[in-house]
Amino acid sequence: MTDERQYIIDDMTIKESWRLFKIMAEFVDGFEKLGDLYPAIAIFGSARMKSTDPIYTKAETIARLLARKGYNIITGGGPGIMEAANKGGAEGGTHSIGLNIELPFEQRPNEFADVQMSFQYFFVRKVMLIKYSVAYIIMPGGFGTLDEMYEAVTLIQTKKIRPFPVILVESDYWRGMIDWIKGEMIPRGIVTPEDLDIMQVIDDPEEIVHTIQRIVLI
């Protein structure tokens, strides 16, 4: 091994070691700031959703109703559905929490979160969302929304976390995915019909609130 290659390897090792301290710092900061904000309801959805879209309005309504029942609202802290949920939470009178992720585009903190944090690492933010949420509400969204949803479903399915409500909103949007699970995954034995029960599809804001209240007592 040449001296130059050994130097590169040593430099990479040092940088990776320092990165561990950055990761630990994000965990510690999250635990300290969010520990007193339990229970919270996490609301996910597209960052690209405009405020004129009815789905934006519905996310705002759901968050407001939940906040009035005493639940804090927690989101990814960005625009679109996250903004709508943080706005509804603030209007409902509880803590509105935004856990922003540092991205080169699209993600900017919204103005409605009274508790704001910024994360460099997606996986640290995911731990915070799972740890301090008692339910997930999944509005229409893209890959990031699907990632958060399936992360929770997988952890519940494998019994790595306590079961909690995972509610999908806008049945027209999710119908294709649910039909695919029923038509492809379940017949192949890849998942069981009981696994599908982890998720519920509910469109009415009042029914969503009643469902969560029935399962999650505060």
Residues 26-54: pLDDT tens digits?
Answer: 999 999 999 899 889 999 999 999 999 99
Distance CA 54, CA 58 (A): 6
Number of domains in the chain: 1
- The confidence band for 107, taking pLDDT boundaries of 50, 70 and 90, is low
Question: What whole-number percentage of the chain has pLDDT above 70?
Answer: 90
pLDDT attached to residue 102: 78
In a domain, 11, yes or no: no
pTM: 0.89
In a domain, 48, yes or no: yes
Checking if the pLDDT of 10 tops 90, the result is no
- Which two three-digit tokens encode residue 63? 């968050």
In a domain, 186, yes or no: yes
In a domain, 177, yes or no: yes
Checking if the pLDDT of 9 tops 90, the result is no
| Cβ atoms 92, 68 nearer than 8 A | yes
In a domain, 81, yes or no: yes
pLDDT attached to residue 108: 77
CATH code for the domain in which residue 192 is found: 3.40.50.450
Who contacts 214 (Cβ-Cβ below 8 Å, separation ≥6)?
A: none
pLDDT attached to residue 174: 98
In a domain, 96, yes or no: yes
Query: Helix, strand, coil proportions of the chain in percent (round to 5)?
Result: 50, 15, 35
In a domain, 14, yes or no: no
35-49, 97-111, 159-173, 182-196: the lowest-pLDDT one: 97-111
The helix (H) or strand (E) run that includes residue 65 is helix 54-68
Distance CA 158, CA 139 (A): 24
Neighbouring-strand partners of residue 199:
166
pLDDT attached to residue 117: 93
Q: What is the pLDDT of residues 61-70, one digit of tens each?
A: 999 999 999 9
pLDDT attached to residue 155: 97
User: What's the domain range around 124?
Assistant: 38-215
Distance CA 153, CA 184 (A): 18
In a domain, 200, yes or no: yes
